[in-house]
Amino acid sequence: MLDVFVPLIQGALYIRSFVFGPNQILYVNSLNESIGSEILRYNAVTGEFIDVFVPARDRDFAYDLAIGPDGNLYVR
């Protein structure tokens, strides 16, 4: 059975990538072509929105997210 884990993000054109990080955090790279990419954080257990971790900058686009062996989030 499929269900919605994280609700649709208002204003997002689409989700480019996501990664589960340490401490039960889900990082989502959301793209809105009018403002750029922003990285959002969600609780990886409940799906509850936490915050905008990296706000969008004018037409700045992130492509991939990765968690390094050091536990840090890396963006390409």
Per-residue pLDDT of the chain (76 residues; tens, 9 = 90+): 566 666 665 555 578 889 999 899 999 988 877 777 889 899 988 888 899 898 887 666 778 899 999 999 998 8
| 61 contact partners, CB below 8 Å, separation of at least 6 | 31, 36, 37
What predicted TM-score, i.e. pTM, was given to this entire model? 0.80
Instruction: Give me the residue label for tokens 């208002």.
Output: 10
| Token couple for 57 | 């900058």
Cα separation, 68 vs 15, in Å, equals 21
- Cβ atoms of 75 and 62 within 8 Å: the answer is yes
